[in-house]
Amino acid sequence: MRNRIFWLICLVFAVAAGVIAQDITGGGSLTRDITGGAALIFRAPQNPSVHLATSGGATGGGHIKQVKKPPVRQQDTIIERANAARSAPKPRYEEAEQQYQLAAQIAPDDARAFAGLGNVYVDQGKFAQAVDAYQKALKVKPDYNAAYLPLAFSLARLDRYPEAIDVYKETIKRDPSSPEIYNNLSFAYNHNNQFQEAVEASEQAIKLLGETGQAYAIGFQERTEIRSYAYKNLGNAYNGLKRYDEAATALKKSSEIEPTNAAAHFNLGLTLYNAGRYSEAIESYKEVIKLRPKLAQAYFNLGLTYYAINDKPAAMAQYETLKGLDAAMAKQLYDTIKH
């Protein structure tokens, strides 16, 4: 539950990617700072495995055979303590960090200690430290597959997109059937302005998810949410290529799959504005406002869209509302309308 809440909070503040608004009809530039509807999927990393000894079981014929326990490895005991601290109902991150660091000191060739340390840092949003820990784990053991996905995620959260792309591509070699990886690769491509590659990665994520079939659960996210994110990334990629009709189709699909995804509606409004389809853009921004009635960016963009069709009274109405939400943004809208 703690991971679900933590990552829901973190992910809802992701910035919509790849949508660049154009200056048209003197209307100024639309803002693209939109909160909500994250397009980057995260799966909380599992604790590293331990190999603590257990007692023997029974054999056939009713005869109980005593199996001698092998000596418990000190390293596994320390990692087990660290895992328990991290996984407690109220996580004890400082204790977990200390125990993983101790494990790394005792056995510096054990990738599990560094990966566990990375997990603790990821849990707390300390992504730079997480990157360092995961890279140490992979230096010790390049085939420690569990480190690749959270490493790529951490790099993306640090806006180190070229590095994140390289790690996601390596992860695909190890798990080629995960829509999560392709979706996140598309997100990174969009932020790195590699829009054609982003299209291809999004399409692969959608293909793997399929239109029907068993849900693909990742952490707290279900298949429906992931499909919505994949179409959102696809729309953002088409936007980057200035293929606005295809972008609008993808973003409409995203909003239909997840109607409460305000970012999908917001990006759809941007796309339709860029395409000169102002009436449709207005409806998209109205939908955003229904979902997020205090989102200043939606009123600002709606005001500029009304201004683009020369409906200054409607644009001024957005200004009046915006004054109570963001004074600086309201002034910018007012100056544009009165220009």
Residue-wise pLDDT for 220-264, tens only, equals: 456 777 888 899 999 999 999 999 999 999 999 999 988 988 888
| Structure-derived torsion over alpha carbons of residues 195, 197, 199, 203, reported in degrees to the nearest 10 | -170
If DSSP codes are grouped into helix, strand and coil, which group holds residue 6?
A: helix
pLDDT score, position 32 = 56
Per-residue pLDDT band at 44 (split at 50, 70, 90): confident
- The model's pLDDT over 113-126, given as tens digits with 9 standing for 90+, comes to 999 999 999 999 99
Residue 6 has pLDDT above 50, yes or no: no
Per-residue pLDDT band at 315 (split at 50, 70, 90): very high
Per-residue pLDDT band at 271 (split at 50, 70, 90): very high
Tokens standing for residue 203: 């399409």
Tokens standing for residue 224: 């429906």
Region 188-203: mean pLDDT is 95
Per-residue pLDDT band at 70 (split at 50, 70, 90): very low
pLDDT score, position 112 = 96
Tokens standing for residue 137: 């784990």
Half-sphere exposure of 252 (CA within 13 A, CB side): 10
Q: How far is Cα 339 from Cα 328, in angstroms, rounded to an integer?
A: 16
Mention every residue, 6+ apart, whose C-beta is less than 8 A from residue 60: none
Per-residue pLDDT band at 31 (split at 50, 70, 90): low
pLDDT score, position 65 = 43
Residue 215 has pLDDT above 80, yes or no: no
Single pTM value for the model: 0.79
Q: How far is Cα 87 from Cα 120, in angstroms, rounded to an integer?
A: 10
CB 232 within 8 A of CB 263: yes
The domains of the chain, with CATH numbers, are 1-42+161-277 (1.25.40.10), 81-158 (1.25.40.10)
Residue 132 has pLDDT above 90, yes or no: yes
Q: How far is Cα 260 from Cα 274, in angstroms, rounded to an integer?
A: 23
b (16+ CB within 10 A) / e for 213-228: eeebebebbebebbbb
Residue 22 has pLDDT above 90, yes or no: no
CB 86 within 8 A of CB 123: yes
Q: How far is Cα 151 from Cα 65, in angstroms, rounded to an integer?
A: 45
pLDDT score, position 229 = 87
If DSSP codes are grouped into helix, strand and coil, which group holds residue 218?
A: strand
